[in-house]
Chains A and B, each alone.
Chain A
Amino acid sequence: MEKKWEEMTPEEKREARFETWLSAEGVAFQSAEAEASYKANIRRLKDAVLMEKAPDRVPVLIMGTLMQAHLYGVTPEECMYDYGKLDSAHKRFLQDYRPDFFSTPAFVGSGKILDILDMQQYRWPGHGIPGTSGYQCVEGEYMTAEDYPALINDPSDFWLRTWLPRVFGALEPLKNLGALTDLWEIVGVSGHMIPYGIPDVQNALKALMAAGDEAMAWIQQIGAFEMEAKAMGFTSSVGGASKARFDILADTLRGTRGAMMDMYRQPDRILEAVERLTPLYIRQGVGMASFAGNPLVFMPLHKGADGFMSDQQFKTFYWPTLKAVILGLAEEGCVPFLFCEGGYNSRLEYLQELPKGSCFWVFDRTDMTRAKEMLGDTLCIGGNVPSGLILTGTADDVKDYCRDLIDTAGKGGGYLMSFGTAMDEGKPETVHAMIDFTKEYGVYA
């Protein structure tokens, strides 16, 4: 008899998740080759990540936000408003470039939804920035220095009645709602409904419904693309997503400046807040990975990089809170995919604390030779192909760079080829060079 999920060890859970991923339920492969390629991609990545043996060759993982569209002349504005155009660029990209893994067009959200909700925390093409620019964040304190107790007491309530109203113009009236947990016993029901009768609140609810309609239209197209990509034999490099909790604070809530000031002015509050958020961000990663049937949980890392804080601050505010989420995800059989932005040269020793094969790290500006030396026995690493090289270099420059990476960081396995950044733009000859050269040169004996 099969073991119940709760009785399985983390390794067994991970194995089960890989099996689900390999089984590709509901995918009608276009050919036997497509199916073989889909499965080979997963096994290749699995071997690279688990580090029990070298894979057949170096996996090629392409992370792009707007790059696929850019390569086919589709503008950022078109990407966000014409999902069909975005999809067709992604499809042509797969046909022409054939990376092992695709990065989903879902990374480019819908501009129409942002319009409906009137998002304040970003500018997007045609909305505060030119149609040819990618969307960009507007730094701000969307949570104030005084808001910590509210966040810590009840994060979801804080999100609903404070953060959403500040970040989305159309949802501002939600600040009039009562706390949901105030609703108990029959006598409370009627009174609790009063705010939902306020015309402004009703408009906010209508905006949510309109955004929901648009989200359905969006996911139908994006979902169809993902199905087709799989049918063509490609695999998605992202199952779920999560974040380091300090980054939630420093990106989403307090902003860079706010969070940095809090490290001095109210350090205990930060620690309490990130502690409170731990289970929520394990839940998010596990939930999404289970839904997608893909164990990889993408985690972009921001404010703990070299230069962003001292070693002491990293040790206090960042690392424990990140490590807990990584281990929590691994415990549930997921494979955290750390997208490690900036440099991590001063942090590599901490990464040595992670169990062998528990996750993999795609680096941006980290010294790959040193990373291999320090992590080569335990963790799969990749990345580091610079955006500047791809955009302004030649095919030969790129091949030389990739050869070096494969010879050093790729030695013996535990390695994957990837850009160091999520690319917004591309140049055909250099992107081809990176993919084709790796497939040819990156073969293990």
Chain B
Amino acid sequence: MSGELAKRLADLKEEEAVAFVEKALAEGTDPMDLLAEAREGMMTVGSRFAEEEYFIPDLIYSGAILKRIVSILEPHLKEEQTSGESKGKVVIGTVAGDIHDIGKDLVVFMLDVSGFEVLDLGIDVPEAKFVDAVRESGSKVVGLSGFLTPAFDSMKRTVEALREAGLRDDVKVMIGGGQVDDRIRGYTGADAYGKDAMEAVHLAEQWIGG
């Protein structure tokens, strides 16, 4: 594989990337190879984001380009082929009382393209739902997102609920979003605070998928 698609995607050349995929498919390239290359391109986007060369709009835009590419490839892929080798499972959601999703979605997206299997519980997620999800999935990492200050208490209660369910020692909890900072990590009893989506990936890698 030439790396051409990865480069076009990493450089956010939407039309060029799409044209490349269409041409390559027509020429009989294996769609799985194209998908793998697109993932590679996304990893470059992620590292550019971590190096502050790229910012939130670049993440969002790269996501839109990827979506277009996947929709072209999808009809050519067999069902089980869409997900690659998983580094591990991460449960994530925006905590109770909070309905913000932009930040959480970016975290989900970066974890996903980095090879994690993400269980996204959505927004306004009650404590019990996190507990159930951890229990059922056996996930070792939980990500709590929250935007407004009342989320601090919801995060704290979620960490407590995990403890009460006897699961606290089995999982690492990371928190982030909006007004959260390291002080709040202490307050909530979480294991780590991550300032952006790439830090979420790094934390998860450190804990389960290094």
**Which A residues form the contact surface with B (CB < 8 A)?**
123, 128-130, 132-134, 136-139, 256-257, 260-261, 263-265, 307-310, 313, 386-389, 391-393, 421, 423-425
In the bound complex, do residue A388 and residue B187 qualify as a contact, i.e. CB atoms below 8 Å apart? yes
In the bound complex, do residue B64 and residue A261 qualify as a contact, i.e. CB atoms below 8 Å apart? yes
**Which B residues form the contact surface with A (CB < 8 A)?**
12, 14, 54-58, 60-61, 64, 97-102, 124, 147-150, 152, 179-181, 183-184, 186-187, 196
The complex places the Cα of A423 from the Cα of B99 at a distance, in Å, of 18
Measured between beta carbons, the chain B residues less than 8 angstroms from A425 are 149-150
Residue of B nearest to A393 (CB): B183
Measured between beta carbons, the chain B residues less than 8 angstroms from A264 are 12, 14, 57, 61
Contact check: which of A136, A138, A386 meets B98 at CB < 8 Å?
A: A136
Measured between beta carbons, the chain A residues less than 8 angstroms from B58 are 310
The complex places the Cα of A139 from the Cα of B99 at a distance, in Å, of 10
The complex places the Cα of A218 from the Cα of B61 at a distance, in Å, of 42
Question: Can you list 17 A-B pairs, Cβ within 8 angstroms, ordered by A?
Answer: A133-B97, A133-B98, A136-B100, A264-B12, A307-B55, A307-B196, A308-B57, A309-B55, A309-B57, A310-B55, A388-B179, A388-B180, A392-B152, A392-B186, A392-B187, A423-B149, A424-B149
Chain B binding surface SS class = loop
Contact check: which of A137, A138, A260 meets B56 at CB < 8 Å?
A: A260
Contact check: which of A138, A263, A387, A388 meets B99 at CB < 8 Å?
A: A138
A134/B150 contact (C-beta < 8 A), A129-B124, A388-B183 known? yes
Measured between beta carbons, the chain B residues less than 8 angstroms from A424 are 148-150
In the bound complex, do residue B152 and residue A388 qualify as a contact, i.e. CB atoms below 8 Å apart? yes
The complex places the Cα of A310 from the Cα of B53 at a distance, in Å, of 8
The complex places the Cα of A45 from the Cα of B179 at a distance, in Å, of 28
The complex places the Cα of A2 from the Cα of B2 at a distance, in Å, of 76
What's the count of A-B pairs with C-beta under 8 Å? 86
A260/B60 contact (C-beta < 8 A), A134-B150, A136-B100, A307-B196 known? yes
In the bound complex, do residue B184 and residue A392 qualify as a contact, i.e. CB atoms below 8 Å apart? yes
Q: Determine which residue in B97, B99, B184 has the highest number of CB atoms from chain A within 10 A of its CB, and name it.
A: B99
Measured between beta carbons, the chain B residues less than 8 angstroms from A256 are 60, 102
Contact check: which of A129, A257, A386, A423 meets B183 at CB < 8 Å?
A: A386
Measured between beta carbons, the chain A residues less than 8 angstroms from B124 are 129
Q: How far is the CB of A97 from chain B (nearest CB, A)?
A: 18
The complex places the Cα of A130 from the Cα of B149 at a distance, in Å, of 15
A139/B102 contact (C-beta < 8 A), A388-B152, A388-B180 known? yes
In the bound complex, do residue A307 and residue B56 qualify as a contact, i.e. CB atoms below 8 Å apart? yes
Contact check: which of A129, A310, A386, A423 meets B97 at CB < 8 Å?
A: A129
Measured between beta carbons, the chain B residues less than 8 angstroms from A313 are 55, 57
Residue of B nearest to A308 (CB): B56
Residue of A nearest to B102 (CB): A256
Measured between beta carbons, the chain A residues less than 8 angstroms from B57 are 260-261, 263-264, 308-310, 313
In the bound complex, do residue B61 and residue A260 qualify as a contact, i.e. CB atoms below 8 Å apart? yes
Q: How far is the CB of A79 from chain B (nearest CB, A)?
A: 14
Q: Determine which residue in A123, A388, A421, A424 has the highest number of CB atoms from chain B within 10 A of its CB, and name it.
A: A388
Measured between beta carbons, the chain A residues less than 8 angstroms from B180 are 388
Measured between beta carbons, the chain B residues less than 8 angstroms from A136 are 98-100, 147-148
The complex places the Cα of A134 from the Cα of B148 at a distance, in Å, of 9
The complex places the Cα of A113 from the Cα of B149 at a distance, in Å, of 26
The complex places the Cα of A308 from the Cα of B54 at a distance, in Å, of 10
Residue of B nearest to A136 (CB): B99
A387/B187 contact (C-beta < 8 A), A136-B99, A308-B56 known? no
Measured between beta carbons, the chain B residues less than 8 angstroms from A308 are 55-57
Contact check: which of B14, B101, B149 meets A387 at CB < 8 Å?
A: B149
Measured between beta carbons, the chain B residues less than 8 angstroms from A130 are 97
Measured between beta carbons, the chain A residues less than 8 angstroms from B64 are 261
The complex places the Cα of A384 from the Cα of B8 at a distance, in Å, of 40
In the bound complex, do residue B60 and residue A257 qualify as a contact, i.e. CB atoms below 8 Å apart? yes
Residue of B nearest to A134 (CB): B148
Measured between beta carbons, the chain B residues less than 8 angstroms from A309 are 55-57
Measured between beta carbons, the chain B residues less than 8 angstroms from A421 are 149, 179
19 new A-B contacts, CB < 8 A, other than A137-B100, A392-B186, are A129-B99, A132-B97, A133-B97, A133-B150, A138-B99, A256-B60, A257-B60, A260-B56, A261-B57, A307-B196, A309-B55, A309-B57, A386-B179, A387-B179, A388-B183, A388-B187, A392-B183, A421-B149, A424-B150
